[in-house]
Amino acid sequence: MTQTNGSQTNGRRPAKHHGLSAKTLRRLERASGRLASASVAAMEQRLPWFGRLPAEQRASILLITQTGAAGFVDWLRDSQEALKLTTDAFRGAPEDLSRWISLRQAVGLVRLAIEVFEEQLPEFAATKAEDAALTEGILRYGREIAFATANSYAAAAEARGAWDARLEALVVDGIVRGDAEEAVLSRAAALGWEPSAMATVLAGRPPSDDPPSVVFEVRRLAARLGRPVLLSVQGSRLIVVAGGPTDGDAKQKEVLGKLAGAFGEGPVVAGPTVDSLAEAHRSAAEALSGLRAVVGWPGAPRPVRSSDLLPERALSGDAEAERLLIEEIAQPLEAAGPTMLQTVDEYLESGGVLETCAKKLFVHPNTVRYRLRRAAELTGRNATEPRDALVLRVALTVGRLARARGLW
């Protein structure tokens, strides 16, 4: 026959009441709403930022506090269910709170509510033992609530981080594909990007097959440089959109070189720096075109500008590169007159030998030097430099072919 008494029924362990009488627990339960209201009143008095919250948000905090106060009584009845009860009590906290207030502010609310409870709980104690039990109970319960709040904010932060990563990938993909300007800008604004900021797109290989580690490394470098970035790992390529100027002083010019350190082995190509994110698709198109063509220049620097890969891009069939070669080199030389164009042609044909070129043109070598300097001023390319000589030769060839096809 199973023995039963006031502390044991059907062989089950009795619920733990922390040494509190049933009468005290009932009084606490009835007063839970008052305790919650007193806590919120203290928040309004002691926390200046709390009073600036809209009424709807303050009402939500009151509701959460009331739920927590009721949970405290349940926790006192059975502390073995503390973790479950506190988690359930604050289930709505991340959805309601993390949008308005920081984790630091949320912990401040919990601390202040616990202080109010500590001040008012002694009036419910029938004995000194109950007073001590209530004080110990609210401190332990407050600890559980603080951990539950921190866990809730952590979960909310992880969810936001995952959402931001997906949104960022959509923005970068939209830039690469040249999507509608409004869609890209609105998504980028949601990520905190300043739409009017200058932008430069870099393309290369990721340093590893682990996208999170790639993202961390790029962001680490960007933070050290004080530059905003958008990035996406797209299979075997890494696309980074860097904010801010890159063509000014030495410090600005170093930005792309340092960001290139976040890429894996192989070439890194940077498109032109454009005035805003709305034009970033142009920078992306040139960077990716350069990435496909850079194999034609084994000695290319890292990173290399897409504008420095115009010959390779043109040879690989990039119509935009052909257009740039014509507009920036072939047309200015032709507009300067037949003498200028003939001098550049003869100098390239002579293998860069100044005297040979001068003899073919029946002029003094200094005349050739002057004309080449003038050609460099017009095109930005110095025929006496091997790389620039290649660019000039390809540009003139492309120009003649385009004219033959009636395109110029």
Residue 382: per-residue pLDDT = 95
Tokens matching residue 152 = 């809730």
CA dist 253 → 116, 196, 240, 244 (Å): 57, 20, 16, 11
**Number of C-beta neighbours around residue 330 at 10 A:** 24
240: β partners: 202, 231
Q: Are 309 and 273 in contact (CB under 8 A)?
A: no
Domain ranges (residues) in the chain: 22-159, 183-306, 319-404
The CATH class of 183-306 is alpha beta
Q: Return the H-helix or E-strand segment holding 304.
A: strand 304-305
Q: Judging by beta carbons within 10 Å of its beta carbon (0-12, 13-18, 19+), is residue 17 exposed, middle or buried?
A: middle
pTM over 0.75: no
Domain 319-404 sits in CATH at: 1.10.10.2840
Report the largest interatomic distance among the alpha carbons of the chain, rounded to a whole angstrom: 129
Over residues 66-102, the pLDDT tens digits come to 878 888 888 787 765 545 555 555 555 545 556 667 7
Please give the mean pLDDT across all residues of the chain: 84
Q: What is the pLDDT of residue 163?
A: 61
The backbone region for 205, taken as left when phi is positive above 0, alpha when psi lies in -120 to 50, beta otherwise, is beta
Q: Which residues of the chain have pLDDT under 50?
A: 1-16, 82, 94
